[in-house]
Amino acid sequence: MFKRILALVFILFGLISISIAQKAGSEADTLLLKELKQYPRKNTLPVRRPVLFPEVVSLSAASAIDVKVNYWRNLTAFGININQASFSDNWGAGGVNSLALGGQFSYKSDYTKEDKNYVSEVIMQYGKLKNKGQLSRKTVDRIFWDNKVALKLSNSWYFFGSVNFESQFDFGYNFSKDAQGNEKRTLLSKFMAPGYLTESFGFEYKPDKHFFVRIGTGTARQTFVLDKSLYLTNPKNFGVKPGKGFRNELAFQVVSSFDKEIAKNLTLKSRYALFANYEKLSSIDNRLDLTLTAHVNRLINVSIAGTILYDDDTANKMQASQAMTFGLVYRLAN
C-alpha cells in the first residue's frame, strides 16, 4: 500500500514539474518575441523648435527678378529629293535615262499671348523631271503664304482676319506632238499668271492646335494675270478678261486644316478651301491638299501628297495630282 502511495506522489510531482516547465518556456518565448518586436520609442531625441522672426522686405525695381517669356513658336523645314535612272543601249527590258530633282521649304510661326493669336505659314515647292529624248517637265511648283490674326471670343471661337497669297515659280506647259511626231509645248501659266491674293475676315473654330475651321463671311480675292497675251495659248485665262491683267471677286470662304501625328512617326496634314463667288454661286471652287509623311529617322522622310481641285476658271472638270517622294528633310524648331 505504501509503495502505491509513494508512486502516486512521484507521478503528481512529475506532472507538476512538467507543467511549471512548460509555463516557464512559454513565458520565455513571449519575452523573446517582445524583445524582437520592440520599436524605438517616439521622441527619443530632443528636438528644439526654431524661432521664426518674419520680416517684410520691399523689392526695388532693380532687384526684381528679370523673367522673359517667349510667346513665339517657330518651325522651319527644308528638304531635297533626287531620283535618277540610266540604262545601257542594249538593255533588254527597255527604259529611258531620267533625272528628277525637287526641293521644298516651309516655315511656320505662331504667336499666342492671352487672347491674341498670329500665325504665318510659308510653303515653297519646286521640282523638275528630264527624260532622255523629251523636253523637261515640272513635277511640282507652288508658292503659298498665309497670314492670320485672331482675337479669342471663347474657349474655341475666334474672330479673325487673314491675307493669303499663291502663285508659282516657273513656266507651265501642256505637251503634245506635231504632225512629224516631234514634241511641242504650249504655254499655260507662269509666275503671277496666275497669282492670287485673298483677304478674308470672319470666325474661326479652333478646339486645339491641330485643327481649325475658318468661316470667312467677308472675303475678297484678286486674280492677277500679268502676261496679257496668255489668253492666246490659254483661252480661259484664269477667269480674267482677255487684255486685262486683274480680276476682283467678293465671296464666301471656308478653310479648314488638320496637322497631327496620327501614329508614331506618321504625320497627316490636310487643307481644304471652299470659295463661293457671291455673283456665281452655281459654281464653287474647291481645293483639297493631303500629305502623309513617314519619318524614317531625323533626316529621311517618305511622303505621299495629293491635290484635288475644281475651278471652272482653269478647267471644265476636276483636276488631280499625286506625287511620292523619298528624300532628306531637315527641321529647325524654336
Split at pLDDT 50, 70, 90, the class of 208 is very high
Judge whether 64 lies within some domain: no
Judge whether 153 lies within some domain: yes
Residue 307 β-bridge partners: 289, 321
Q: Please give the tally of structural domains in the chain.
A: 2
Say which amino acid occupies 258: F
CA distance 78 to 168: 18
Judge whether 63 lies within some domain: no
Q: Is the separation of the CB atoms in 145 and 172 below 8 Å? A: no
Q: Is the separation of the CB atoms in 225 and 194 below 8 Å? A: yes
pLDDT number for residue 50: 75
Averaged over 50-63, what is the pLDDT? 67
pLDDT number for residue 180: 86
pTM of the model: 0.79
C-alpha cell at position 284 = 464653287
Judge whether 104 lies within some domain: yes
pLDDT number for residue 99: 93
C-alpha cell at position 51 = 524661432
Judge whether 29 lies within some domain: yes
pLDDT number for residue 51: 75
| DSSP 8-state code for residue 241 | P
CA distance 178 to 289: 35
Same domain for 299 and 169, yes or no, is: yes
Q: pLDDT tens digits, residue range 153-174?
A: 999 999 999 999 999 999 999 9
Same domain for 35 and 86, yes or no, is: no
Q: Is the pLDDT of residue 24 over 60?
A: no
C-alpha cell at position 138 = 515640272
Q: Is the separation of the CB atoms in 141 and 195 below 8 Å? A: no
Q: pLDDT tens digits, residue range 261-287?
A: 999 999 999 999 999 999 988 889 999
Averaged over 291-310, what is the pLDDT? 94
CATH code for position 267: 2.40.230
Same domain for 19 and 152, yes or no, is: no
Domain housing 254: 72-333
pLDDT number for residue 97: 93
Q: List Cβ neighbours of 174 (8 Å cut-off, separation of 6 or more).
A: 185, 186, 188
C-alpha cell at position 135 = 523636253
